[in-house]
Structures are given as C-alpha cells and as structure tokens.
Amino acid sequence: MLTRNQIEAELSLAYLQAIAAAETFAVDVPHIDSDSVDAIISGKGKIDVTSLRYSPRIEVQLKATINAQPNGQGNIPFDLTIKNYDDLRANTILPRLLILLTLPPQQVDWLLHHPDKLIIRDCCYYLNLKGQPASVNGGHQRVYIPTVNILTPSALRNLMIKASKLEDL
C-alpha cells in the first residue's frame, strides 16, 4: 500500500500528465531525482511560430499539500526544504518550476470517479524561483505561490512557448 505522501506524489504527477497531454506535451520521470527534478515536460519540434528553439523542455519539482491557505495578498505560503529551494533557484540550462497540487483536507475527496468523468481535486499552481536569494534559514524556506498561477493547459502552453523563446518563466 502507498503511504499518504506517495498518494499525493502520484496524484500530482497524474495531474501534470493530464494537463501536458491536453497540449500534446510529454512528461518524463527521471530514474533518479537527486537534483529536485521529479518530471520533465517536453515539446516536440517548433511548438509555436514565434519559437526560437525546437523541442523545449521544462523541469519541475512536484509537491502536494492539504494545507493550502491563501493569504490576504493572494499567495499560497509553502515551505520547501533548503535543498529543494536552492535547486529550484539555481541558474540551470533548462528552466525549472515548482508545481504544487492543492488537495482537500479529507483523502476521500482527492479523487472523484463517475461513469462520465474523473476528477482530481483541487488544482496545481506553479512558481519560478530562478534567481531568488539564498536562504538564511537552516532547514526550510517559505515561498509564496500566487493563486493566479494556476496550471491549466493554456498556461502550460504559454510556459512552453516562453521556454522555446529562451524567456524567463
């Protein structure tokens, strides 16, 4: 049986795969995650007429929480380990994103199945930490994910187009 954390990880990956597939992108899972990369989103060829590079890729760190409480500024506070924070803020060749799946408090509400639909609740948000300052904390760094950064198929397409144009995400 999977642990609660493993179920959260699998649902966050399933959400990402569904969103990516809707936009014709592939999601690959690295065999070993030693660099805070849980998945790589890949496009094939020139994905947009404005693309400068073929076959863009974005690396992602997937997280999930049942404690998503947006603050008064429209951000979801989330604590990352210093290792994840440092890996995500680094100046890497491929752009990296933190993707956070917010889930209802009760596990029974995470996935709803009906004969005509399958629903993963609630949704994913993304954050680019590239260039953020080093943390002065010992174990964790709090980040703030804007609630406007909902990972939808069109949002992912726009992120991939930016990656294909070598723009910051």
What is the tens place of the pLDDT at every residue in 75-118? 999 999 999 999 999 999 999 999 999 999 999 999 999 999 99
Angle subtended at Cα 112 by Cα 58 and Cα 11, rounded to the nearest 5 degrees: 30
> Does residue 13 lie within any of the structural domains?
yes
pLDDT of residue 110: 93
Q: Is 131 in contact with 89 (CB distance < 8 Å)?
A: yes
**Is 0.85 surpassed by the pTM of this model?**
yes
Q: Which of 105, 81, 95 is nearest to 126 (CA)?
A: 95
pLDDT of residue 138: 87
Q: What is the mean pLDDT of residues 1-12?
A: 94
Q: Which residues pair with 96 in a beta bridge?
A: 59
- Count of beta carbons in the 10 Å neighbourhood of residue 92: 13
How many domains is the chain built from? 1
* Distances, alpha carbon 143 to alpha carbons 52, 84, 89, 99, in Å: 31, 11, 11, 12
Alpha helices in 61-150 (DSSP H): 82-89
Task: Classify residue 158 as exposed, middle or buried by CB count within 10 Å of its CB (0-12, 13-18, 19+).
Answer: middle
* Per-residue pLDDT at 33 exceeds 90: no
> Does residue 9 lie within any of the structural domains?
yes
> Does residue 31 lie within any of the structural domains?
yes
* Per-residue pLDDT at 34 exceeds 90: no
Q: Is 41 in contact with 58 (CB distance < 8 Å)?
A: yes
* Per-residue pLDDT at 9 exceeds 90: yes
Expressed as residue numbers, the domain containing 57 is 4-164
> Does residue 89 lie within any of the structural domains?
yes
> Does residue 169 lie within any of the structural domains?
no
- Count of beta carbons in the 10 Å neighbourhood of residue 26: 13
Q: Is 126 in contact with 156 (CB distance < 8 Å)?
A: no
Q: How far apart are the first and last CA of the chain?
A: 37
pLDDT of residue 64: 96
> Tell me: the pLDDT tens digits for 123-165?
999 999 999 999 999 899 999 999 999 999 999 999 999 999 9
Q: What is the mean pLDDT of residues 34-45?
A: 96
Q: Is 98 in contact with 145 (CB distance < 8 Å)?
A: yes
What CATH number is attached to the domain comprising 148? 3.40.1350.10
Location of structure tokens 């752009």: 95
